[in-house]
Amino acid sequence: MNSTYLELVDGIYSNRGMMSSVGIFAIALFSSAEGYIAYSILFDYYLNPQWDRGEEWSMLLSAGFSGLISAVVVVGFIVSNRTIGEWFRYTHYPMRFNRQNRMVYVFRGDDTVLEAPWDDVYFTLRVNSQAFGVRTLGICGLVLKDPKTVQEMFVFGYASSSRDYCLRHWEFIRRYMEEGPQAVIDAPGFRYCLPIADKRETLYEGWIALVSRDAWNPVLKWLMLPFHVLFFIGRLVCRVTSKVPLWPADVEAACAIKPGDAYVRDSSTNPVGYR
């Protein structure tokens, strides 16, 4: 945060790695199956001196067909994870709220940026997920084509099962845009900034991002631990295959920070050990 803009992460940042873990499992499963088939063909048949080469072509056709299916599945998971932004894209998808020109910038990840006037965006609560009777709420911005048609939606990085907590998060942003950084600089909890604006997260930071939403519940955090370990493996793949986002030059120019800005808060102002 500074006197010009406030930058937030996207709605899937904390959960990044979940879909990757599914993709990794599927790819490993189908690859292992094809490896076993290849091993069996080689050692049980072609290297077996007692094989009389009976039904050789039917065996090869069956192996080729299963190999084609496996290849389609593997490519499908790679493409789908890239499409949703987990693999071969960006480490996160930031959004900026510029209070000087009252514009909202959302990094799409396809070399384009959504630009919308703050006063024209419709902000609302949405249900991000629902499981076992527990709803997780988040805040989203809707860019409207007309009063009845949503042209584009972007989701904030903060989510909670508490409606009041989500509204507190929204109030922080609203006050920043309407009243300025001095209105929120001393807000409770505003002590740390994610150190990911110009570099990849550390392994520890990635783990904390995954487990933080369940850490408040002493029972849930242990029940979710095996899943968090799997998701963390997926998050590592995201980290390795993705690059750090860079805003276009025109957005950086519009968001230039004035020299000597007293309200600059970023990872460099974090306590030692969290930079």
Quick one: 131 and 245 in the same domain?
Answer: yes
Quick one: 79 and 103 in the same domain?
Answer: no
In a domain, 185, yes or no: yes
Structural domain boundaries, residue 132: 5-14+92-269
Quick one: 115 and 241 in the same domain?
Answer: yes
- For helices 56-83 and 18-40, the axis angle rounded to 10 degrees is 170
Q: Comparing C-alpha atoms, which of 123, 122, 105 is closest to residue 114? A: 105
What's the start-to-end Cα distance of the chain, in Å? 15
In a domain, 275, yes or no: no
Per-residue H/E/C for 32-77: HHHHHHHHHHHHHHHCCCCCCCCCHHHHHHHHHHHHHHHHHHHHHH
In a domain, 105, yes or no: yes
Q: Comparing C-alpha atoms, which of 198, 231, 199 is closest to residue 212? A: 231
In a domain, 274, yes or no: no
DSSP state of 227: H
Final residue in a domain of this structure, among 83, 107, 134? 83
CA–CA–CA angle 125, 154, 198 (5° rounding): 125
> How far is CA 199 from its chain centroid?
15
Quick one: 47 and 153 in the same domain?
Answer: no
In a domain, 129, yes or no: yes
Final residue in a domain of this structure, among 83, 113, 131? 83
In a domain, 30, yes or no: yes
Quick one: 29 and 150 in the same domain?
Answer: no
Residue that has been written with the tokens 């496996």 in this structure: 70
- The span from the CA of 50 to the CA of 40, in Å, is 14
Quick one: 30 and 130 in the same domain?
Answer: no
Quick one: 112 and 247 in the same domain?
Answer: yes
* Cβ neighbours of 128 (radius 10 Å): 20
> How far is CA 55 from its chain centroid?
49
Predicted TM-score (pTM) of this structure: 0.86
Residue 230's pLDDT is 93
In a domain, 210, yes or no: yes
Residue 147's pLDDT is 86
For the chain, the domain total comes to 2
Bridge partners (DSSP) listed for residue 138: 126, 159
Quick one: 79 and 97 in the same domain?
Answer: no
CA–CA–CA angle 185, 189, 192 (5° rounding): 80
Quick one: 61 and 101 in the same domain?
Answer: no
Residue 54's pLDDT is 79
- The span from the CA of 237 to the CA of 231, in Å, is 10
- Helix, strand, coil tally for the chain in percent (to 5): 45, 20, 35
Structural Rg of the chain based on CA atoms: 24
In a domain, 77, yes or no: yes
Final residue in a domain of this structure, among 38, 56, 83? 83
Q: What is the pLDDT along the chain (275 residues), one digit of tens a residue?
A: 999 999 999 988 988 998 999 999 999 999 999 999 999 988 888 888 888 887 888 889 999 999 999 999 999 999 999 988 899 999 999 999 999 999 999 999 888 999 999 999 999 999 988 777 778 899 999 999 998 899 999 999 888 888 999 999 999 999 999 999 999 999 987 888 999 999 999 999 999 888 887 777 778 788 889 999 999 999 999 999 999 999 999 999 999 999 999 999 999 888 887 77
> DSSP string covering 183-220, please?
GTTT-TTTT---TTSSSPPPHHHHHHHHHGGGTT-TTH
Quick one: 65 and 161 in the same domain?
Answer: no
Quick one: 260 and 132 in the same domain?
Answer: yes
**Tokens coding 75:** 């490519």
Pick left, alpha or beta for residue 166 (phi over 0 → left; psi -120 to 50 → alpha; otherwise beta). alpha
Q: Is the separation of the CB atoms in 189 and 183 below 8 Å?
A: no
Quick one: 254 and 202 in the same domain?
Answer: yes
